[in-house]
Structure 1
Amino acid sequence: MNPRVIGTVRSHLVSRDQCPKYGDTSMPPVWIELAPDFEPAATDLQVGDAILVLTWMHKGDQAVLRCHPQGNRKLPMRGIFSTRSPDRPTPIGLHAVRILGREGLRLKVHPLEVIDGTPVIDIKPDNATLQGTAEFSSLVNPDTGQAILSAARDGWLRGLFAGFNGNVSMRQGERVVITATGSAKGHLGPRDLAVVDLATGTPLTSVRASSELAVHLEVYRNQPLARAIVHTHPPKLLALSLRGEGPLLDLPLFEGRVFADKLTRVPAHRPGTPELGQAVGVASRDFEAVFMDNHGLVCRGETMTQALGLSEELESLAGIAMRR
């Protein structure tokens, strides 16, 4: 009995002879066209997700029980269950891929080495990526994850983070990837990243998000240009604010005027509260940097480099202001 088909692969490969014996990352991506009936099941699939695609290898010979591995007759025959041959009693293919694009019910994935017209019988999240210390969650795009880890490390090296304070995030479609609570920013690993739903804040991974999640969510919700956020506790800027000597960064320097115009401040609110998140979110509509009195600095950017770079500029100017 054939399983229920949920979609079809649209591939440049048209015959078994053209298919590589193992996943070939040099191949172009292919498309999976899902059947309309399964639209509700695909609602949460997003670009960047790691998924397992199960196919029905309809051209396979279901009578085969032994074969030459990789079709190489110079190799001794082996039982079919110890090979990945498409010829097998139940010809189910298992493919670890990432979603590179999405157009409605069409998913662009890579690498998937099956012939055009191959039926798709199921899709699952690739939770196996959580088992390796060098792998990100199936919900974290590797480029996003690496950008967060690198920014946290760079900020720590520049003294913007100390110990376990601060947090870093990036928007990934309708999700937010953010550093975990209690994580040391100078020593992050893939398991220190949490994923939450942007609209509701619902956690999508078992990793607990930073206590300042509300700030990040409100900035993304209020400012469509925000794609990355860096929240630091910059010692010079904090020390300058405690002097209470008027506006922050009131310097007769060209750079001072340029960057001071990007900065505003909000009154003190208890960290981690909705009130703080709402105050910073509203301020982010007009400013790229928000100083939270008695707490720290939040910088947004269209890229992680912009967000971190603005944090560095403001801390550098604070150092100059303190020496006046």
Structure 2
Amino acid sequence: MSEYPSSAEINIIGVIRSSFTDLNNCPKQGDEGGVEAWVEVLPQYAAGLESLQAGQNLTLLSWLHEADRHVLAVHPRGDVNRPKRGVFNTRSPARPNPIGLHEVTLLETEGARLRVAPLEVLDGTPVIDIKTSYDQRKPVAGAEAAGIPPRQAAIIRQACHTAWQRTLLSGFNGNISLRINGDTCLVTATGSTKGDLQPEDLALVDIATGKHIAGGKASSETAMHLAIYRQQPEAQAVVHTHPPKLLALGVRVAPADMLRIPIYESDLIRERMTCIPAHAPGTQELADAAGAAAAQHEAIHMEKHGLVCWAATPREALALSEEIEHIAGMHLDSLC
């Protein structure tokens, strides 16, 4: 039997410059609060960056230099209430060879420096390789999908399907968007079925001007999403749903009494949510009212219409929507 080498040499090709300076503040994954960061490539490897262009999706391979290399079993995501697994059945940084895989979008090139997002690693983390993302090899269905970033498109498709499964969306109603960088957002297209979103059912839009950049025709509620992004810089995702229990509750009680029941969760949610008066769907009046409300609140109940939540990720915005719908159900039950 042939013998395998016990070690291999790895060349560090660069370093990550990030706003994360405390390991405890780093998100678990890039789509859970990752930030823009710079990858500084060493001069001797700069030639390898030739032909890279802004807008490409990349896979960064980093060396997680502060990870424990003597661990073979961990609690998934550090949750001690979950049974331990072998590290090769997790994405834990603690492992014999602590290689990090990060799916990012290239936002800008500046000589041998790359500005990318979203990235979740510590400032000073070494980089060992850069590859074009595997998903760029996959065929894109429909000419309408040209120019749509595939990784973010997959995030929105998954969020829409999850919202549909939880009955927060049905048929053609509702819409979800994701801020791609400081300038653009990806939003569901008008007339798209959210439970079965297709590649052509997304549109890329300029946040400042509302100009269509790529993809299908943007949702009629896009103005509301843009207003929220403009008024709330912390918003990275906006989820507009039509929760049936919340809407039914709005028929039964006045806006000031929404979710006002004697449980702790109700008080906590009410601090995060506000109500705005009824405006016709798709109007600038609705967009302006929602944008102004988003400056102070993460959840906005739109009378006679639905709910819009913003967060760092679609998953977090959906979780807040689901909590509100759950409490609305309890409130309805208490009225019987």
TM over 0.5: yes
Determine if the alignment matches structure 1 residue 12 to structure 2 residue 21.
Answer: no
Cα pair 1:266 1:279 within 8 Å, conserved: yes
1:209 aligns with 218
2:225 paired with 1:220: no
Please tell me whether Structure 1 or Structure 2 has the larger radius of gyration of its CA atoms. 1
Which letter maps to 1:266?
A: I
Aligned to 1:18: none
- Quote the residue 2:106 is aligned against: 100
> How far off is 1:244 after superposition?
2.9
Give the corresponding residue for 1:268: 278
TM-score, normalisation: structure 2: 0.62
Give yes or no for contact 1:130–1:138 (8 Å, CA) kept in 2. no
- Bigger shift: residues 227-236 or 135-144: 135-144
User: Would the alpha carbon gap of residues 202 and 221 (structure 1) be closer, same or farther in structure 2, given more than 3 Å must change?
Assistant: same
Q: Does 1:189 align with 2:198?
A: yes
Task: Say if 1:175 and 1:13 are closer, same or farther in 2 by CA, change over 3 A.
Answer: closer
Kindly report structure 1 stretches of 4+ aligned residues shifted beyond 2 Å. Answer: 10-14, 30-34, 45-49, 98-112, 128-143
CA shift for structure 1 position 132: 2.8
Partner of 2:318: 308
Report the Cα distance in structure 2 between the residues aligned to 1:165 and 1:230, rounded to whole angstroms.
Answer: 12
Aligned CA distance change for structure 1 residues 101 and 278 (closer, same or farther; 3 Å): closer
Decide which of 138, 157, 161 is 2:165's aligned counterpart: 157
**Residues 278, 302 of structure 2: 8 Å contact kept:** yes
Cα shift readout 1:92-151 (whole Å, capped 9, x = no counterpart): xxxxxx953524466749647xxxxxxxxxxxxxxx989633999454333311111111
C-alpha distance 207-131 of structure 1, shift in aligned 2 (>3 A):
farther
Written as runs of structure 1 = structure 2, the 5 A alignment for 1:68-217 is 100-104=106-110, 108=114, 111=131, 132-133=140-141, 137=145, 139-173=147-181, 174-217=183-226
Residue identity opposite 1:270 in structure 2? A
CA offset digits 1:141-164 (Å, max 9, x no partner): 333111111110011011001110
Contact 2:177-2:185 within 8 A present in 1 as well = yes
Could you tell me how far apart the structure 1 residues matched to 2:173 and 2:323 are? 20
Query: 1:269: Cα distance to partner?
Result: 0.9
Trace 1:29-40 onto structure 2 (pairs within 5 A): 30-32=48-50
Unaligned runs of 5+ in 2: 1-42, 59-103, 117-129
Distance in 1 (alpha carbons) for counterparts of 2:299 and 2:190: 22
Is the 2:145–2:215 Cα contact (8 Å) retained in structure 1?
no
The one of 231, 235, 239 equivalent to 2:240 is 231
Name the aligned partner's letter for residue 146 of structure 1.
Answer: A
- SS of the residue aligned with 2:203? strand
Spell out, residue by residue over 1:179-203, the C-alpha distance to the aligned partner (whole angstroms, 9 max, x if none): 0101010000222111011111100
Match of residue 309, structure 2, among 291, 295, 299: 299
Structure 1 length-normalised TM: 0.64
Q: What RMSD, in angstroms, separates the aligned Cα atoms of the two structures?
A: 3.2
Distance in 2 separating the partners of 1:213 and 1:315: 23
Aligned residues with identical type, % of pairs: 40
Distance 1:274 1:158, change over 3 A: same
- Structure 2 residue aligned with 1:240: 249
SS at match of 2:324: helix
Give the unaligned 5+ runs of structure 1.
1-9, 15-29, 35-41, 50-97, 113-127
- How many residue pairs are counted as aligned between the two chains? 230
